[in-house]
Amino acid sequence: MKTALSFAMDFGSYAIKGGSKYYAWLLFLAFFILVGSYTAYQQLTEGLILTGATDQVTMESFFANFIFTAHIAAAAVLVVAPGYLYHRKDMKELAVLGEIVAMVFVATGITFILFHMGRPDRTWHMIPGIGFLNFPNSMLSFDTIVLNVYLFLNLFGVVYILYKKYNGTFHEKEMSRWFTAIVFLAIGWGPLIHIVTAFVLASNSRISPWDTAVLPFAFLTMAGASGPALIVLIFLLIRKTTKLVIGDPVIDLMTTIIAWSLGILMLVFAAEIFTVLYSGTEHAASMKFSMFGHNGLNMFVPWFWVIMGALVGSFAALLFRKVRHSYNLLLPLVCFVVFAAILLEKPMILVFPAFSPSPLGEYTEYHVTLVEFFNVLLVWALGFLFLTLILKGAIGILTGEVRHDKSSASSQVGA
Amino acid sequence: MSKEIIEELNEAKDVQQGRREFLKNVCVSSVAGLVATATPAEAVVDATNPDADVTVEEFFQGHFILMSDEEKKQAIARLEKRYSAKYGKKTTVSDVEAPDGVLFGYALDIGKCIGCRRCVHACVKENNQSRHDPEVQWIQVMKMPKGNISFSADQLDKGYPEKSEFGDYGVQVGGNAYKTAGFSTEDAQNYYQDDLVPEKDFFYMPVQCQQCEKPPCVKACPVRATFRDHAGVVLIDYNWCIGCRMCQLACPYQARHFNWGEPNLPAEEMNPKTHYFGNRPRMRGVMEKCTFCVQRTREGRDPACMEACPVGARKFGNLLDPDSDVRRVLATKRVFRFKEEAGTYPKFFYYIG
């Protein structure tokens, strides 16, 4: 017990120590958390009427951002998988970082859903026993289960590995079979959260852009692009600012995954656009609205073309060896573009235009309100704050700077 | 509806009258304290919002259908007390069951409908919807152009391809090609503000909850707050709804409406005769929709929209009774269901008389 306490203490105190740039970053996040607390309070007291959502476009930015966080969380297995499935030693040591990313962004996504709900105070209605979970009819009930299981799988994995390493009792060879099984389960579960999230959308046959079999594939490839893009950015930052060694081959593997994912994503988009536009049935109406607008309602049109251009452009850029190996300038830039493009794709292409035309033929634009915008930033800021602190502490343990003090060895008995 | 059923229902209501002694007077401040221990973030919100005078018991109450009779009595008493205080008039909340041997159905003659929207406003008045910012309307009337204004002879040679080796009549783009005619949502106007209806070149089609036999909303709800009763009507427990709006995503008729903010229902316009699953005042953040006026139809009366229709375009009745108006329409008219392809099997039928 004492060891657990000293683990928490050492971890925490290392996590909040850093240079001036580190504190500036934390302060930057704190600003959005502060502003966001106020707007969140407003939304909780006055309701979702403060967002831009209407009965026509009923899903707001929170829902769109939730889908994106599921992308990143699912993609974090791409750090874990090479280590455990292909026994890449350099990746295996970094696996815990991937699990941290997964854990933090699943939690972020669940927070987005709480903002999305009209009655967050009634969340307990979903807990079987005291409430009622409409399983297996409702796709949302699947999603709830899958996300929470993924959260706790990763939480457990992260705490187990870090705690063992902190104690100095983590041995690669002797790693218990049950723990490896849990890691494998988490690897399988990553794509699952994604496929189920895609099914939550695809289950609504009246929204024709979502009512497509390519949706899970689009999601998986977008996850494969945006997740590793964020991880490359994080890894580049970590190896520049800390003592943790992350070799070029690790970055290169991630870059390869991004490039492949973008390539397949382009095929998925092309397949969908062709299938819908060639026959030009009523299912094409929404796609046409995205691409060309409708009777002067064309706010989504520039977003569509810019985001598509960014995705194709990033793919083309990653074909060049020079870009892939430009670790300090071009690669992070491309990764940032991929991350931002897929983040913005969610509200501006996937979610908002999908509601036009409505079942009664209405076309609706969507204007994000300030309250909504700052609430989105609040959730992201919270996510990145926890990500920063946990990663910092984890790096301390991985580099050996945070270790259990053996002089008080008696404390280990209780652990 | 037969006389016996109505008598039975009235008896059930009399039992209701004596169930008010279970009230517990819990003031809002103690609510805050108690709820805060359970869910800190939201409880603070409820306490600071003067409109959210939800008692502790109401917060912790279960799904109405799953409650015991005793719990139901208490829930009803709580609501009646709260509504009576809030709106300054004696409010009754009924929980009368749907009569047995009944399957409610609706038929609407789009040949007769003149688009006056009297049904829309009668519905708002009857069902205690939010009156302003925004006004929630459960019936939307689509105004659709008749074919005779869609096509014109002077456009015959417009559009392209104008010339080809096979003549000038290939795939048309432009001209008359893209004109919709008749029954199509594509050019439907849902927000028309005409001084006089019906307008000459248009016909009208009101759309409300279609009370599907296979409702996609019921499937999508993660907590079963929305369900189908044994008379075939899809209802919502407003106190159980978590506001996730999955049902709104699933509904192919745009029939579900969300309370984005606190509903604005002026006390003087409030209809005090309510039903738990029907027209009782709703709260912020829950879904609502047409219930075929459950507070009326379960007692053998007709829905408000039907009573309001000046041209007799609306027919309501028991689909299991061969002599009902609806069954007579189904037997003698050419009937269709809206969006048949959605596979929802509505009990709301359209016909052209």
Q: What is the pTM of this model?
A: 0.89
Average pLDDT of every residue of chain B: 84
Which of the residues A42, A110, A119, A294 would you substitute to probe the B interface, choosing the one with the greatest number of B C-beta atoms within 10 Å? A119
How does residue B22 score in pLDDT terms, banded at 50, 70 and 90?
very low
Whether the per-residue pLDDT at B178 is higher than 70: the answer is yes
Partners of B287 on chain A (C-beta within 8 Å) are 118
> For A142-152, what is each residue's pLDDT tens digit?
999 999 999 99
Nearest to B240 among A58, A125, A282 (CB): A125
**Residues A55, B41: C-beta atoms closer than 8 Å:** no
Our CA-based measurement puts residue B310 at a distance from the nearest CA of chain A, in whole angstroms, of 24
Between helices A20-46 and B40-48, what is the axis angle to 10°?
50
Cβ-Cβ contacts under 8 Å between A and B: the total is 159
How does residue B162 score in pLDDT terms, banded at 50, 70 and 90?
low
**Residues B185, A121: C-beta atoms closer than 8 Å:** no
> Which residues are CB-contacts of A37 (< 8 A; sequence separation ≥ 6)?
A378
Residues A29/A384, Cβ–Cβ less than 8 Å:
yes
Rounded CA gap, A233 and A52, in Å?
32
Nearest to A47 among B188, B223, B285 (CB): B285
pLDDT of residue A250: 95
Query: At B105, phi and psi to the nearest 5?
Result: -140, 160
Whether the per-residue pLDDT at B251 is higher than 60: the answer is yes
Whether the per-residue pLDDT at B9 is higher than 60: the answer is no
Whether the per-residue pLDDT at B1 is higher than 50: the answer is no
Whether the per-residue pLDDT at B16 is higher than 90: the answer is no
Whether the per-residue pLDDT at B2 is higher than 80: the answer is no
Rounded CA gap, A80 and A158, in Å?
12
Whether the per-residue pLDDT at A137 is higher than 50: the answer is yes
> For B328-346, what is each residue's pLDDT tens digit?
999 999 999 999 999 999 9
Does A116 contact B at CB distance below 8 Å? yes
What value of ipTM does the predicted structure carry? 0.91
**Residues B222, A133: C-beta atoms closer than 8 Å:** yes
> For B290-323, what is each residue's pLDDT tens digit?
999 999 999 999 999 999 999 999 999 999 999 9
Average pLDDT of every residue of chain A: 93
pLDDT of residue B46: 40
Greatest mean pLDDT range, A168-182, B73-87, B151-165: B73-87
Residues of chain A numbered 125-154 and touching chain B (CB < 8 Å): 125-126, 131-134, 137-141, 144
Whether the per-residue pLDDT at B35 is higher than 50: the answer is no
Partners of B259 on chain A (C-beta within 8 Å) are 47, 118
> For A37-93, what is each residue's pLDDT tens digit?
999 999 999 999 999 999 999 999 999 999 999 999 998 899 999 988 888 888 988
Instruction: Please give the residue of chain A at the shortest CA–CA distance from B48.
Output: A45
Question: Of the ranges A167-181, A189-203, A367-381, B180-194, which one carries the lowest mean pLDDT score?
Answer: A167-181
Burial class (CB in 10 A: 0-12, 13-18, 19+), A42: middle
Does A206 contact B at CB distance below 8 Å? yes
Whether the per-residue pLDDT at B43 is higher than 70: the answer is no
**Residues B241, A118: C-beta atoms closer than 8 Å:** yes
Whether the per-residue pLDDT at A153 is higher than 90: the answer is yes
Question: Of the ranges A308-312, B87-91, B172-176, B236-240, which one carries the lowest mean pLDDT score?
Answer: B172-176
Question: Of the ranges A96-100, A175-179, B96-100, which one carries the lowest mean pLDDT score?
Answer: A175-179
Whether the per-residue pLDDT at B20 is higher than 60: the answer is no
Mean pLDDT within A369-376: 97
Nearest to A138 among B186, B222, B240 (CB): B222
pLDDT of residue A410: 41
3-state secondary structure chain B: CCHHHHHHHHHHHHHHHCCCCCCCCCCHHHHHHHHHHHCHHHHHHHHHCCCCCCCHHHHHCCCHHHCCHHHHHHHHHHHHHHHHHHHCCCCEEECCCCCCCCCEEEEEECCCCCCCCHHHHHHHHHCCCCCCCCCCCCCEEEEEECHHHCCCHHHCCCCECCCCCCCCCCCCECCCCCCCCCCCCCCCECCCCCCCCCCCCEEEEEECCCCECCCHHHHHCCCCCEEECCCCCEEECCCCCCCCCHHHHHCCCCCCEECCCCCCCCHHHCCCEEECCCCCCCCCCCEECCCCCHHHHCCCCCCHHHHHCCCCCEEEEECCCCCCHHHHHHHHCCEECCCHHHCCCECEEEECC
Burial class (CB in 10 A: 0-12, 13-18, 19+), B65: middle
How does residue B350 score in pLDDT terms, banded at 50, 70 and 90?
very high
pLDDT of residue A324: 96
Which of the residues B42, B139, B242, B257 would you substitute to probe the A interface, choosing the one with the greatest number of A C-beta atoms within 10 Å? B242
